[in-house]
Amino acid sequence: MAKLVQIGVAAELLAQACRGDEHAESEIYAAVAPATFALIRRLVGAGTQAEDVFQDTMMSFYERLPTFRGEAPLGAWLRQIAISKCLMYLRSPWQRARVQLEATEGTDFAELDYRSHTAPAAECFDVEHALASLPPTARAVVWLFEVEGYSHDEIGRAFGRTASFSKSQLARAHHRLRAWFEPAVEPPACTSI
Protein backbone atom coordinates (compact mmCIF):
# COMPACT_ATOMS: atom_id res chain seq x y z
CA MET A 1 0.00 0.00 0.00
CA ALA A 2 1.50 3.30 -1.08
CA LYS A 3 1.36 6.52 0.88
CA LEU A 4 -0.29 9.37 -0.96
CA VAL A 5 2.87 11.43 -0.91
CA GLN A 6 4.73 8.73 -2.85
CA ILE A 7 2.19 8.26 -5.64
CA GLY A 8 3.21 9.48 -9.04
CA VAL A 9 1.73 9.02 -12.48
CA ALA A 10 3.25 8.81 -15.94
CA ALA A 11 3.84 12.14 -17.61
CA GLU A 12 1.92 11.06 -20.69
CA LEU A 13 -1.15 10.11 -18.65
CA LEU A 14 -0.93 13.39 -16.82
CA ALA A 15 -0.73 15.35 -20.06
CA GLN A 16 -3.79 13.53 -21.40
CA ALA A 17 -5.71 14.27 -18.21
CA CYS A 18 -4.72 17.94 -18.43
CA ARG A 19 -6.20 17.98 -21.93
CA GLY A 20 -9.47 16.72 -20.46
CA ASP A 21 -9.22 13.07 -21.54
CA GLU A 22 -11.74 11.32 -19.32
CA HIS A 23 -10.09 7.92 -19.54
CA ALA A 24 -6.80 9.37 -18.28
CA GLU A 25 -8.64 11.21 -15.52
CA SER A 26 -10.34 8.01 -14.40
CA GLU A 27 -6.99 6.18 -14.30
CA ILE A 28 -5.50 8.89 -12.15
CA TYR A 29 -8.57 8.72 -9.92
CA ALA A 30 -8.09 4.98 -9.47
CA ALA A 31 -4.45 5.57 -8.53
CA VAL A 32 -4.89 8.38 -6.02
CA ALA A 33 -8.42 8.10 -4.62
CA PRO A 34 -7.82 5.29 -2.04
CA ALA A 35 -4.84 7.02 -0.42
CA THR A 36 -6.55 10.40 -0.55
CA PHE A 37 -9.67 9.10 1.12
CA ALA A 38 -7.61 7.30 3.78
CA LEU A 39 -5.82 10.54 4.62
CA ILE A 40 -9.06 12.52 4.74
CA ARG A 41 -10.64 9.94 7.00
CA ARG A 42 -7.72 10.18 9.40
CA LEU A 43 -8.02 13.96 9.61
CA VAL A 44 -11.77 14.50 9.46
CA GLY A 45 -13.01 11.22 10.86
CA ALA A 46 -15.22 8.67 9.23
CA GLY A 47 -18.68 9.47 7.97
CA THR A 48 -20.42 11.69 5.49
CA GLN A 49 -18.18 14.65 6.33
CA ALA A 50 -15.18 12.72 5.05
CA GLU A 51 -17.06 11.91 1.85
CA ASP A 52 -17.93 15.56 1.30
CA VAL A 53 -14.36 16.68 1.89
CA PHE A 54 -13.15 13.92 -0.43
CA GLN A 55 -15.49 15.11 -3.19
CA ASP A 56 -14.33 18.72 -2.72
CA THR A 57 -10.70 17.66 -2.74
CA MET A 58 -10.98 15.64 -5.94
CA MET A 59 -12.93 18.40 -7.66
CA SER A 60 -10.26 20.95 -6.76
CA PHE A 61 -7.59 18.48 -7.83
CA TYR A 62 -9.03 18.12 -11.35
CA GLU A 63 -9.68 21.84 -11.65
CA ARG A 64 -6.11 22.69 -10.72
CA LEU A 65 -4.46 19.78 -12.53
CA PRO A 66 -3.37 21.89 -15.53
CA THR A 67 -1.38 24.09 -13.11
CA PHE A 68 0.61 21.13 -11.73
CA ARG A 69 4.27 21.75 -12.58
CA GLY A 70 5.59 18.30 -11.75
CA GLU A 71 8.21 19.49 -9.26
CA ALA A 72 7.05 16.88 -6.75
CA PRO A 73 5.15 13.61 -7.10
CA LEU A 74 1.51 14.14 -8.01
CA GLY A 75 0.47 12.50 -4.72
CA ALA A 76 2.45 15.05 -2.70
CA TRP A 77 0.71 17.86 -4.55
CA LEU A 78 -2.69 16.25 -4.00
CA ARG A 79 -1.84 15.76 -0.32
CA GLN A 80 -1.47 19.52 0.05
CA ILE A 81 -4.92 20.05 -1.45
CA ALA A 82 -6.48 17.33 0.72
CA ILE A 83 -4.91 18.61 3.95
CA SER A 84 -5.90 22.16 3.13
CA LYS A 85 -9.52 21.07 2.53
CA CYS A 86 -9.56 19.05 5.76
CA LEU A 87 -8.24 21.95 7.81
CA MET A 88 -10.74 24.30 6.20
CA TYR A 89 -13.44 21.91 7.25
CA LEU A 90 -12.10 21.59 10.79
CA ARG A 91 -11.87 25.37 11.12
CA SER A 92 -15.36 25.96 9.74
CA PRO A 93 -17.91 27.43 12.18
CA TRP A 94 -20.33 24.63 11.31
CA GLN A 95 -17.83 21.94 12.36
CA ARG A 96 -16.99 23.82 15.58
CA ALA A 97 -20.66 24.13 16.41
CA ARG A 98 -21.20 20.44 15.70
CA VAL A 99 -18.33 19.43 18.00
CA GLN A 100 -19.64 21.70 20.76
CA LEU A 101 -23.15 20.32 20.36
CA GLU A 102 -21.91 16.77 20.55
CA ALA A 103 -19.84 17.63 23.60
CA THR A 104 -22.88 19.20 25.28
CA GLU A 105 -25.12 16.30 24.48
CA GLY A 106 -22.44 13.85 25.51
CA THR A 107 -22.85 11.79 22.37
CA ASP A 108 -19.37 12.18 21.00
CA PHE A 109 -17.30 9.09 21.42
CA ALA A 110 -14.24 11.28 21.67
CA GLU A 111 -15.56 13.13 24.66
CA LEU A 112 -16.42 10.05 26.67
CA ASP A 113 -14.25 9.21 29.60
CA TYR A 114 -12.17 6.41 28.21
CA ARG A 115 -10.92 5.45 31.66
CA SER A 116 -14.39 4.53 32.76
CA HIS A 117 -14.55 1.44 30.53
CA THR A 118 -14.26 -1.26 33.12
CA ALA A 119 -14.06 -4.13 30.71
CA PRO A 120 -12.88 -2.73 27.40
CA ALA A 121 -13.39 -4.91 24.39
CA ALA A 122 -10.32 -6.11 22.58
CA GLU A 123 -10.90 -3.80 19.60
CA CYS A 124 -10.81 -0.80 21.94
CA PHE A 125 -7.08 -1.29 22.07
CA ASP A 126 -6.88 -0.89 18.39
CA VAL A 127 -4.81 2.13 17.51
CA GLU A 128 -7.48 3.15 15.00
CA HIS A 129 -9.99 3.48 17.80
CA ALA A 130 -7.50 5.34 19.93
CA LEU A 131 -6.97 7.83 17.15
CA ALA A 132 -10.69 8.15 16.52
CA SER A 133 -11.23 8.87 20.20
CA LEU A 134 -9.26 12.11 19.96
CA PRO A 135 -11.03 15.43 19.36
CA PRO A 136 -10.86 16.41 15.67
CA THR A 137 -8.21 19.11 16.04
CA ALA A 138 -5.96 17.00 18.24
CA ARG A 139 -6.35 14.08 15.86
CA ALA A 140 -5.36 16.22 12.89
CA VAL A 141 -2.35 17.63 14.75
CA VAL A 142 -1.08 14.24 15.89
CA TRP A 143 -1.50 12.79 12.39
CA LEU A 144 0.18 15.70 10.63
CA PHE A 145 3.09 15.74 13.07
CA GLU A 146 3.71 12.06 13.67
CA VAL A 147 2.78 10.55 10.33
CA GLU A 148 2.85 13.22 7.65
CA GLY A 149 6.01 14.79 9.03
CA TYR A 150 4.78 18.36 9.40
CA SER A 151 6.65 20.64 11.79
CA HIS A 152 4.95 22.54 14.61
CA ASP A 153 5.42 25.77 12.68
CA GLU A 154 3.74 24.33 9.60
CA ILE A 155 0.84 22.95 11.62
CA GLY A 156 0.41 26.21 13.47
CA ARG A 157 0.35 28.12 10.19
CA ALA A 158 -2.08 25.66 8.64
CA PHE A 159 -4.50 26.21 11.53
CA GLY A 160 -3.93 29.94 11.48
CA ARG A 161 -2.35 29.69 14.96
CA THR A 162 1.13 29.55 16.49
CA ALA A 163 3.57 26.69 16.88
CA SER A 164 2.69 26.62 20.58
CA PHE A 165 -0.87 25.72 19.67
CA SER A 166 0.41 22.71 17.77
CA LYS A 167 2.71 21.69 20.64
CA SER A 168 0.00 21.90 23.25
CA GLN A 169 -2.47 19.99 21.08
CA LEU A 170 0.13 17.30 20.47
CA ALA A 171 0.99 17.01 24.16
CA ARG A 172 -2.68 16.57 25.03
CA ALA A 173 -3.15 14.05 22.24
CA HIS A 174 -0.14 12.03 23.44
CA HIS A 175 -1.52 12.06 26.95
CA ARG A 176 -4.88 10.80 25.73
CA LEU A 177 -3.35 8.14 23.54
CA ARG A 178 -1.20 6.84 26.38
CA ALA A 179 -4.18 6.85 28.70
CA TRP A 180 -6.21 4.95 26.13
CA PHE A 181 -3.73 2.08 26.12
CA GLU A 182 -3.37 1.98 29.86
CA PRO A 183 -5.78 -0.42 31.48
CA ALA A 184 -8.13 1.18 33.96
CA VAL A 185 -6.64 0.77 37.43
CA GLU A 186 -9.11 -0.65 39.88
CA PRO A 187 -8.99 1.11 43.26
CA PRO A 188 -7.68 -1.18 46.02
CA ALA A 189 -10.43 -2.90 47.93
CA CYS A 190 -11.07 -1.58 51.41
CA THR A 191 -10.12 -3.90 54.19
CA SER A 192 -12.46 -3.96 57.11
CA ILE A 193 -10.75 -3.52 60.45
In angstroms, what is the minimal distance from the CB of 170 to other proteins? 11
| 172: number of Cβ within 10 Å | 16
Q: Which stretch binds other proteins (CB under 8 A): 86-94, 103-111, 151-159, 177-185?
A: 177-185
Contacts to other proteins from residues 8-37, by CB under 8 A: 22, 25-26, 29-30, 33-37
Handedness of CA 183, 187, 188, 189 (dihedral sign): negative
Kindly tell me which residue out of 183, 185, 187, 191 binds other proteins, with binding defined by CB under 8 A: 183
Kindly tell me which residue out of 125, 151, 153, 164 binds other proteins, with binding defined by CB under 8 A: 125
How many residues line the site for other proteins (CB under 8 A)?
Answer: 42
In angstroms, what is the minimal distance from the CB of 161 to other proteins? 22
Contact between residue 165 and residue 175 where contact means Cβ atoms under 8 Å apart: no
Kindly tell me which residue out of 74, 86, 131, 158 binds other proteins, with binding defined by CB under 8 A: 131
In angstroms, what is the minimal distance from the CB of 151 to other proteins? 16
Smallest Cα–Cα separation from 182: which of 95, 115, 129?
115
Burial class (CB in 10 A: 0-12, 13-18, 19+), 44: buried
Burial class (CB in 10 A: 0-12, 13-18, 19+), 91: middle
- What does the per-residue mask of binding to other proteins show for 139-168, with x meaning CB under 8 A? ---xx--xx---------------------
Buried b / exposed e across 10-41, counting CB within 10 Å, b at 16+?
eeebbebbeeeeeebbebbeebbbebbbebbb
In angstroms, what is the minimal distance from the CB of 175 to other proteins? 9
| 175: number of Cβ within 10 Å | 11
Chain residues that interact with other proteins, rule: CB under 8 A: 1-4, 22, 25-26, 29-30, 33-39, 41-42, 50-51, 54-55, 58-59, 62, 122, 125-128, 130-131, 142-143, 146-147, 174, 177-178, 181-183
